[in-house]
Chains A and B, each alone.
Chain A
């Protein structure tokens, strides 16, 4: 179908485009911007005046809960939620049930996702069998089946020798390794940031050193092995400083922060709000400020939703027993816009952190609107504010600490491969 998106402010961070113009789409691809291609006849014209037209968003961590956890969410529900959030590409962590540790599971997930014809799904393979931290997975087979990287999700990987070997093996074949830095022993038994709030509320705590100790290990092993490393869900000010130093030393690595941690801190736990039970834990105000600054200056490369649908039975429990996680794909854009507005980050720069930067980490040529590329587009109204309510969310997971909050940015159209997969 030939589509013309007219009158919008087109922002393509990769190509430094930021102006009011028309985007021409033909045969699922970007045909032209500005001038109409020769003989172009639009079958559908979208009036985007007053709206932003940008590349489809790319989310580096969205749990779709399949296979095995369909009572929490299904591919259908979460893919619908993702495109409603303007997301055209997403990577899903391997902590399904069973974990994504063998090619058949990955192929099935890719097949199921493709048949829904919505966002592009990029599975992340398990680094070890069953995410048990004992035996390496068949990374070659998994990569052939479609895994774009290998990770240990939020499961502990205690054996540092095995971690070292896993990184060496991945480096041999240039596979990407995504790791969250948390020392399993220092974090043992804890579920809240070790600070004033945990002290007052008597919540077993995870110290900031759980992140920094593990980060030091991971960085040292990455330096030694030369593996293509991505650090997931940074949460502490000290962690940001360590990443800044590592990058300044010339180490090639990237890192992300979840949208939750840009806006929330341990104080938001209030009187034990289980919605604020997240992984990693919400840390102090100083940490939050460092994460926001780190994202603005580029130490942190991108924002992800860390989408984790949790059912009510698992959430309506005392803080420590409540399952961690929150729904997020529909909030990735609003929370990124909110951060950009509050910290005076230019819109194009903010959008780069949810488009072209995560595309580079996945290793996919996406997140931009180059001529001839797949027409993956998000059209949103930056001035429309909406209130996050259970009813407003398409995700089957209705639990998020942002319930009741008014957020900026409403997606109007999402296009994947030139098809309109969402409009409102």
Chain B
């Protein structure tokens, strides 16, 4: 089955997942993002690459950060941006997802940035556009269920490359709720595709999907063991509804075993960087001293996120 995000010539027509994306496509996006980082420092923070294009932010699930950074990215490229916070309202009105899409296509949309609570929703939209001969309308996955968050994965790769220059000599640890995390899945696929020799996952068994090792990672239940010798530590957000219940007994016990403290970080390499996709739960997955410490690159991740999303939108628009 052909990867639905590539056309017959192998060009990127949608960005749905990093899984199966060729390494050169990922590198091209990262390279394209580099000059965009300096646009933010100019007095006029705009380039005309998407002038006349209309980008629809279709958020079927709430988000502030991702929606805002996509909006900024599109506006800095001079696109017209329409934000639709659909939530569950369209389904309660009886309109199906694909009916909504057809209507927006009829309004001459050029791109959809889609966030949805169901894994695979952006694939459904992209497949529908491909099937109806409208693959000129591009879909960017801004997070679908537990499946993928490819622009987050790309900005994580961009951040790692910015600080570490190369991937081929790195050990990267991803810590926390991988079971429910689209961020983790995208980062794991991205890291293995660009040739990271060791990707580790650290979590209790209740927060790990069954067949995780099939993604090419080493699994650790003990955080101290897993952090030893790491170059990069990526902390995942723990949703508050999962802190107490059948998956974990309490936030406090989670922090004791899997919270990142200065003392545990000392087990990683001395120049290891600390990342987090946000929003952080201070005192649950990470202590403030580390989150705000000199090895934290959490805020630069946000800044790079805009450049990476500009690169994705600009490449999809054919630049």
Contacts and interface: CB of A to CB of B under 8 A. Distances in A.
Contacts of A200: 19, 185, 214-215
A49 interface: no
A316 B124 contact: yes
B210 A272 contact: no
Nearest to A204: B146
B83 interface: no
Nearest to A317: B97
A354 interface: no
B67 interface: no
Interface in B101-157: 116, 118-121, 123-124, 127-128, 144-148
Contacts of A318: 97, 116, 118-121, 124, 144-145
B145 A194 contact: no
Given A198-B209, A200-B19, 12 more contacts: A194-B210, A198-B210, A199-B215, A202-B119, A202-B146, A202-B148, A203-B146, A271-B1, A271-B4, A313-B96, A317-B96, A318-B145
B39 interface: no
**Which applies to chain A's interface (DSSP): helix, strand, loop or mixed?**
loop
Task: Choose among B19, B128, B210, B215 the residue with the greatest number of A CB atoms under 10 Å from its CB.
Answer: B210
A198 B209 CA distance: 8
A319 B215 contact: no
B211 A271 contact: no
A272 B119 contact: yes
Contacts of B148: 202
A320 B96 CA distance: 14
Interface residues of A, number: 23
Nearest to B97: A317
A317 B124 contact: yes
A199 B119 contact: no
A334 interface: no
Contacts of B211: 194-196, 198-199
B120 A319 contact: yes
Contacts of A198: 209-211
Nearest to A194: B210
B123 A272 contact: yes
B6 to A, nearest CB: 12
Contacts of A271: 1, 4, 120, 123, 127
A188 B127 CA distance: 29
Task: Choose among B1, B119, B147, B182 the residue with the greatest number of A CB atoms under 10 Å from its CB.
Answer: B119
A209 B87 CA distance: 35
A194 B120 CA distance: 17
B315 to A, nearest CB: 21
Contacts of B214: 196, 199-200
B266 interface: no
15 contacts: A196-B211, A199-B210, A199-B214, A201-B119, A202-B147, A203-B147, A271-B1, A271-B120, A316-B96, A317-B97, A318-B119, A319-B118, A319-B119, A319-B120, A320-B120
Nearest to A313: B96
Given A194-B210, A271-B120, A320 B145 contact: yes
Contacts of B127: 271
A200 B144 CA distance: 13
Interface string A267-295: 00011101000000000000000000000
What 7 A-B pairs are tightest by C-beta distance, nearest first?
A: A272-B120, A202-B146, A202-B147, A318-B118, A199-B209, A318-B121, A199-B211
